Amino acid sequence: MLTQAELLTIYDENKEDLTRFSRSIVGDMPIAEDVLQEAWMKFLRAAGTRQFDEPVAYLRTIVRTLSLDALRRIKRENARISGPLSDGLEAADHNSPGPEQTAIARLELERLQGIMAELPEKTQQALLAYWQEEKSLRDIAQMLGVSLGQAHGLIKNGVEHCRLRMRGREKQN
């Protein structure tokens, strides 16, 4: 089995290539970085239980699989968001929300801001940097003085909290 130092060397030497590879599939750098983080965690779990003949190829396969999963998820979400008009007619300016949609969006934003206020300060900062400023996980980790994994955890936990609360549910522990 590979030592911790060998595993870190594999990660350090291949991180940029793997991130570019993932980005070429998903088309978005923050998502590609998230994919690489998740792939790395899966790779570490697997490295603890088995020996690899080609560890970089195995890690690349994990990145590819997770990138394709992320791409399918993105396409599903985009299809759901921009689904067909119910009457089958094209709206004259379907990209501009009407007054009702604007009011609903404003109320949802206010609700989300209230929900985010429930979160710890670092989690709030991480979410705002990720959503509004579109910063990478590495930039967020550096900004908050935490590890890459901790930054990923802050965002993941914050998103999960907001998602559950927006749906009217409390987080189940």
Per-residue model confidence as pLDDT tens digits over 51-96: 889 999 999 999 999 999 999 988 888 877 765 554 444 444 556 6
Tokens 């396409």 -> residue: 75
**DSSP 8-state secondary structure symbol assigned to residue 91:** P
* pLDDT for 66: 95
| % of the chain with per-residue pLDDT over 70 | 88
For the entire predicted model, the pTM comes to: 0.48
More confident residue, 46 or 168: 46
Cβ burial 140-159 (10 Å sphere, 16+ → b, else e): bbeebebebebbbebbebbe
Residue extents of the structural domains in the chain: 4-79, 99-166
Residue pair 131/159 in contact by the 8 Å Cβ criterion: no
pLDDT attached to residue 98? 75
The per-residue pLDDT for 137 is 87
Band of pLDDT at residue 171, cut at 50, 70 and 90: low
pLDDT attached to residue 88: 47
* Range of weakest confidence among 11-15, 34-38, 134-138: 134-138
How many CA within 13 A on the CB side of residue 3? 3
Cα–Cα distance, 138 to 32 (Å, whole number): 12
In 3D space, the residue among 64, 56, 8, 80 whose CA is nearest the CA of residue 32 turns out to be: 64
Mean residue pLDDT across the chain:
85
Q: Which fold has domain 99-166?
A: Arc Repressor Mutant, subunit A (1.10.10)
Bigger pLDDT: 95 or 116?
116
3-state DSSP assignment of residue 79: helix
* DSSP letter, residue 136: -
pLDDT bucket at 145, cuts 50 / 70 / 90: very high
The mean pLDDT of 14-38, rounded to a whole number, is 93
Radius of gyration of the chain (CA): 20
4-79 CATH pick, 1.20.1530, 3.10.105, 2.60.40, 1.10.1740: 1.10.1740
